[in-house]
Amino acid sequence: MKKQVVLYKQLSAPLMARLKEHAEVTLIVDVKGAGLTQLKAALPQAQGLLGASLKLDAALLDLAPKLEAVSSVSVGVDNYDIDYLDRRGIALSNTPDVLTQTTADTGFALIMATARRVVELANLVRNGQWTQNLGPAHFGTDVHGKTLGIIGMGRIGEAVAQRGHFGFGMPILYHSHSPKPAVEARFDAGYRSLEALLQEADFICLTVPLTAETEGLIGAEQFALMRPESIFINIARGKVVDEQALIAALQNGQIRAAGLDVFEREPVAPDSPLLKMNNVVATPHMGSATHETREAMASCAVDNLISALAGQKPANLVNPKGWEARH
């Protein structure tokens, strides 16, 4: 007998067909409003869940006594209470590898856009305000040869370093839990304390996951260490940064500019001061938002769930304790 899966994300026809080969699927098109009511009604029979962008807390998962596995179409797992899942013996899997290159592309797009003031100057043209040759008031800053500081040297951090080092001749500095000799050899990179990196780097790019240790990692004290020429890029999670401190640093000229794909609250509030600053490039958490990458992420998530429900450890298991508790 096929197991019961609740799907709260639209899949392509081939992926839906693959999932239905292995499970009985209940699709919830939208988990807001009436969709959330439908989800709650389906949870008591659910043995597997697959989706993204929904906070699955204990109050919700208590409605699913038969649940064996959750497959998240994401690399971040901050929407899940892993301790709770471990106690219940529920396996959690994610999609960590397939979005690495695309997210790094987004990070570098933000580096280029902020340095060269692309959005601001494109709007100048769009609004009919380009009436003469650009003068110093509209000049940007070079990217090639500048020092790139990366906070969090995981898969995405390495992919950003590759683009900077080999593509733009940028010296690479990085901060992580511990030095990584292979990274240093590959990119001629230098390990730094967080404080030293913030003081030395021209571009500072955040790629750390959101955890209890990284929440609020960058605040007023850290922005004070940056130089007025520094450009700050966040492709990690919004809550890694104290947003009010970032706003103050930009308003006070402590840093030159910021490129942000993530925010403390998403979608970002329309009245946020960040959206009124010409030296901020703000994008809608689009790091993995390409047709190819989203399909690859969904495919990976389907494979993870099929494996878990068949009693086979998924390739991208997040919580070994939860798996061992059931198996």
Looking at the annotation, which residues are catalytic?
Answer: 237, 266, 285
Q: At 219, phi and psi to the nearest 5?
A: -135, -160
Are the CB atoms for 187 and 196 separated by under 8 Å?
Answer: no
In angstroms, rounded to a whole number, what is the distance separating the alpha carbons of residues 100 and 113?
20
DSSP state of 209: P
- Please state whether the peptide bond connecting residue 267 to the residue before it is cis, i.e. omega within 30 degrees of 0: yes
Are the CB atoms for 272 and 246 separated by under 8 Å?
Answer: no
In angstroms, rounded to a whole number, what is the distance separating the alpha carbons of residues 288 and 301?
15
Q: Is the dihedral of CA 298, 303, 309, 312 positive or negative?
A: negative
